[in-house]
Structure 1
Amino acid sequence: MAAEFEGLVAVVTGGASGIGARTAEVLAERGATVAVLDLQPSERFASHRVDVTDTASVEAAVAAVVAEHGRLDVVVNNAGIGAQGDITGNDDAEWHRVLDVNVVGMVRVARAALPHLRRSPSAAIVNTSSIAATAGLPQRALYSASKGAVSALTRAMAADHLREGIRVNCVNPGTADTPWVARLLERADDPAAERAALEARQPHGRLVSADEVAQAIAYLASPLSGSTSGVELAVDGGMQGLRLRPL
């Protein structure tokens, strides 16, 4: 298991912090050569400054990774941004910005990677979606719309590219203990109460860890998962499917 990614090259967008950083670590621990694509530099891995809303930036980074390592086998589309509010809470410009990052950004990365993935014997793309794609969450209209699009996009990509030997899946985290969630909590009137509410919303009673999501991403990306494609893997403490009675 420790060497299942041995000889494979992976790129992780949004890999400088949170879920992306832990995913890069897990893939490397299992043998992959990892490059991080992010606006911020990675503290541990070779990184390329990439703005996923800029096609030239994406294409240059992917080309640089392939030039250095001679191949590309795994793409983890993890870069994304959040948004709060109902449908009146964000103007048109913000809707376009979030969708451009969270949805079209994944398209740009995958599109640049496709020619190289087609030459890989173990090609995989894993997109980071969210519980917001499958559960109606209050005050998350724009974010939910973007992640619902990611889930639908994942299935469409899986159908388009399976016969080329490229598997495409997505992971749907619940509310995770990440720097982004920490910043949201800091802005709350009562951060402790807000954290408790987020924890209680998930049936197992706590936030999801970045490591738990990273391990799920590694499973979906692994050559050992060759029959897994077009799947949404929930890592949400049971939030998507369970309806527990109150204690």
Structure 2
Amino acid sequence: MNFPPIDSINQFTYMPIPLWCNNDDCPKAHTSHHLHRTCKGVNIQRERTYASVGLGEYVRDPDTIVHYDPEFDTFTYGNSIKKSRISALKNLEKGDFIAFFASFQKNISPYDSQFYFIGFFEFKQVYDPNILEDFSEIANNDHIRCDNYTNEYRIWKGSKKSMLFKHGVPFDRTLAINIIRDIKFDTVNKNGEPRSDFTVINSKTRAVRQISFPQTKYFWEAVKKHNPDCWIND
């Protein structure tokens, strides 16, 4: 699957990522392939496909299993707290924000790809599913739906004020310079070749990064520019 499309006014469709099959007993184990509803061990009552989430028309095989996380219906996101790249999430306080971005392309060529912010959570609470008795607040998260979590997993929950944007917010050079202190553009790779803005931003955002005031004002200004109905006051 290529990057999903985004139109001329930055309207987009949020596409969850496909899962890879890592079952050695799968009949197709001899070749690398995405997890499919026909793969061995798939619980189709729990697992979601592109077809089941209403996105079958956008992909080559609608029966591919997806990982719908984060999800913007009940605003949940799950991950392992042992991963150093998400360590910043451990320090969240109620009312803080978690912003999410994704890759899109406006044309067929993959070289036209760009990052866009797609939404945010107003952080409400973090849950440890290993000690939880009532899962109702996080039941829609894929890790919970598929019983796919270990001791170090946590589920972050957003408030009802969280939102999926109607229009993607370009995460371009201008915004990146304003919100990422140590980012440098117009650099070259180890072969002396120019690094694209997309590559530079990607390399600086593989880990969760904290945006502090006054940098946050640039982020919210960009959000309001493309989504005037956003409730945030700059």
The bucket for the TM-score relative to the shorter chain is under 0.3
Higher percent of residues as helix:
1
Query: Which TM-score applies when normalising by structure 2?
Result: 0.24
Report the structure, 1 or 2, having the larger strand content: 2
Larger Rg: 2
TM-score with structure 1 setting the length: 0.23
